[in-house]
Amino acid sequence: MWLVLWSFILYFAHRGVWSRWFDDLLFNSYISAVLEELAFRGVILRVLARVWGVRAAVILSSILFGLAHFAHGSWLGIFGIIINAGVALGLLYVITGRLWMSIGMHLGYDFIESSVLGIGSHHGLLVNAPKPGAAAWLTGGAFGPDAAVPAMILGVLINVALWHYAFRKRPSEDGRAEPEFFHGADPAG
Write out pLDDT tens, residues 87-103: 999 999 999 999 999 99
Inter-axis angle of helices 88-96 and 54-68, to 10 degrees? 140
Cα–Cα distance measured from residue 41 to residue 48, given in angstroms and rounded to the nearest whole number: 10
134 vs 9, 31, 72, 148, CA distance in Å?
10, 34, 20, 11
Cα–Cα distance measured from residue 73 to residue 141, given in angstroms and rounded to the nearest whole number: 10
28 vs 188, residue with greater confidence: 28
Q: Give the CA dihedral 119, 121, 127, 129, nearest 10 degrees.
A: 50
Write out pLDDT tens, residues 152-184: 999 999 999 999 999 987 666 655 555 555 444
CB 34 within 8 A of CB 101: no
Cα–Cα distance measured from residue 188 to residue 98, given in angstroms and rounded to the nearest whole number: 6
Count of Cβ atoms closer than 10 Å to residue 141 Cβ: 18
The reported pTM is: 0.84
Beta strands in 46-177 (DSSP E): 126-130
Task: Give the contacts of 79 (CB within 8 A, at least 6 positions apart).
Answer: 66, 147, 152
Q: Is a pLDDT exceeding 70 seen at residue 60?
A: yes
pLDDT recorded at residue 72: 72
Cα–Cα distance measured from residue 153 to residue 156, given in angstroms and rounded to the nearest whole number: 5
User: If you average pLDDT over residues 45-71, what whole number do you get?
Assistant: 95
Q: Is a pLDDT exceeding 70 seen at residue 16?
A: yes
Cα–Cα distance measured from residue 66 to residue 80, given in angstroms and rounded to the nearest whole number: 8
